[in-house]
Structure 1
Amino acid sequence: MIVNVTGVLYRWESRRDDWYFIPLPEEVSADIREVPRPGRGFGSIPVEVTIGSSRWRTSIFPDAGRGVYVLPLKRSVREREGISDGDAVRARLDVFDG
């Protein structure tokens, strides 16, 4: 499943270190939830992400408070792509089914 999303980057306030995430839209999160998958740690789902010229593999995670999946965005990508807290970010996700 390939999806294109836009979300506003936010800093996870529960941690002292810098963890940043992009929330996926509700309808995209619902579509991802519908695909049966084997259980993984923290409900994570492996993805390949493209933002600008950056491409890498990571996992998305369910955020119970928001009711959507969130995409972690590491510092190296934020710096390379010039992304800051509060920016709207466009991403292409190749969501792995198995």
Structure 2
Amino acid sequence: MNKATNIALATAVTGLIALAGTAATTATAVAAEAKEKCYGVAKAGKNDCATKTSSCAGTSKVDGQKDAFIMVPKGLCDRLAGGSTESK
């Protein structure tokens, strides 16, 4: 291969790597935005964060505790039995 071919090949590979990185970053950002807190559906000990009655994740006392939440895809919470986007 000559020098011009090597440069063209290196440029193409660099462009593909940059494009893949951009796509991965965009997918992560979209996934992060498409979540919501869903109260009242977490199993005991499986909540995602502190509640009014406990200090950290994984400390809910009962299944379906009204102030314990888990993160779910946006729009799913309203379809879950007992689910609410607002703490009770």
Question: TM-score with structure 1 length normalisation?
Answer: 0.23
Higher relative contact order (CA 8 A, sep 6+): 1
Looking at secondary structure, tell me which structure has more strand per residue: 1
Give the helix-richer structure, 1 or 2.
2
Normalising by structure 2, what TM-score? 0.25
